[in-house]
Amino acid sequence: MNIELLWEIPLSGLSFVFSRILRFVMQKLGKYYTASKQQKTPEWELVSAKFLEKPVKLLWAMTRARWNLHAMVAIVGPLEVNESISLDINSAQKSAKSWTAVVYTTEDFETITSISSLSISGVNQWETLMLKSGNYLVGLRYYHWLETVEFPTVKVDEVKVVESKTIPAPRDINSFYRDLIKRKKFLHVWLNYYVFNLLRYRKWLPQSFVQKAFLPVPNPETKFYYGAVKPGESVHFDLHSSLLKTYDVYYSLYSRECFPVDWYPITQPEHTTAISQGKCIYLVRIHPKFSREEEFLNDWVKIGVVSG
């Protein structure tokens, strides 16, 4: 028996309970924040160093989804909706080769619906999403973006409520993620302490539980692979060549506290990452390049942890 389990498992259990309590508290506080912000004109906010400048904003982000380090991410909301949200997709089409817009509830960040460059006909300037009455956020992800990007005009119930926004978009626009770990506090350690063991011993847990705990707001078009790596271990990829022709494969490595450590696309059928220097977690996103109906076989993807 691994003697570490004598403290790792109890501490991970306490960390998981703490993470859910903190998420609940922040959801309740978010209601008041949402109510006050609705009085202002909503506008697109790029996820950036400035966006995460306040400690509470960073903490909020770390209670939610795992960082998507390969996409340019922007958020707008809260939007008070009776029936529909419409987006001028021309802005997205001219800004990135691949993009996804996802609608979430404001209270619990539940994914409601989405549109993307893979799902639209390309004929209409406006795409409309029918919704139940409520408050929503729209999260926009641009992949393979151009040097200048435009976030789209948004209508709610056929009334324009969000203006388009154009910004310069250098290739290294996401480099700020590398500095986030410098802001690590004990609260961040305790918040995500459980994640390493959740993934390390996930074969003894229900798959649905692990996925919901680790991927609370996944992109519905993306396939995910994830796991834990100990010091001295690496992640090995053995991918079928057909997969790389029709899918983008993105590798992300996070510290045990879920701060970004490294990320890059996987472009070769065989690849082994650098040896991990500490207890880390990895996440692989496999996203269609051309169509959400692209053929995908599970046998095309073999990802495992190997000793260095």
Inter-axis angle of helices 207-214 and 186-200, nearest 10: 150
CATH, residue 241:
2.60.290
Compare 190 and 220 and report the one with higher pLDDT.
190
In a domain, 184, yes or no: no
In a domain, 246, yes or no: yes
Q: Do 71 and 143 touch, CB atoms closer than 8 A?
A: yes
Q: Do 66 and 214 touch, CB atoms closer than 8 A?
A: yes
Q: Do 46 and 112 touch, CB atoms closer than 8 A?
A: no
Question: What domain range includes position 265?
Answer: 209-307
Compare 219 and 182 and report the one with higher pLDDT.
182
Position 72 scores a pLDDT of 95
Query: Could you give the count of Cα atoms lying within 13 Å of 83 in the half-sphere of its Cβ?
Result: 3
For the chain, what is the total number of helices (H) and then of strands (E)? 6, 18
Percent of the chain past pLDDT 90, that is, above it, reads: 64
In a domain, 217, yes or no: yes
Q: Is 37 exposed, middle or buried (0-12, 13-18, 19+ CB in 10 A)?
A: middle
| Interstrand relation of 165-168 and 148-151 (parallel, antiparallel or unpaired) | antiparallel
pLDDT tens sequence across 98-142: 999 999 888 777 788 889 998 887 778 999 999 999 999 999 999
pLDDT at 34 over 70: no
pLDDT tens sequence across 38-71: 547 899 999 999 999 999 889 888 887 689 999 9
In a domain, 33, yes or no: no
In a domain, 7, yes or no: no
Compare 35 and 232 and report the one with higher pLDDT.
232
In a domain, 222, yes or no: yes
Element at 61 (helix H, strand E): helix 55-62
pLDDT tens sequence across 201-218: 998 889 889 988 888 666
In a domain, 8, yes or no: no
Position 286 scores a pLDDT of 94
Closest CA to 142 of 124, 104, 169: 169
Closest CA to 303 of 279, 274, 269: 269
Instruction: Give one word for 70, left, alpha or beta, with left for phi > 0 and alpha for psi -120 to 50.
Output: alpha
Q: Do 297 and 272 touch, CB atoms closer than 8 A?
A: no
| Interstrand relation of 154-156 and 84-88 (parallel, antiparallel or unpaired) | antiparallel
Residue 30 — pLDDT band, cuts 50, 70, 90? low
| Number of domains the chain is built from | 1
Compare 106 and 265 and report the one with higher pLDDT.
265
In a domain, 234, yes or no: yes
The two tokens of residue 111 are 């994914």
As a whole number of Å, the end-to-end CA separation of the chain is 23
Q: Do 68 and 98 touch, CB atoms closer than 8 A?
A: no
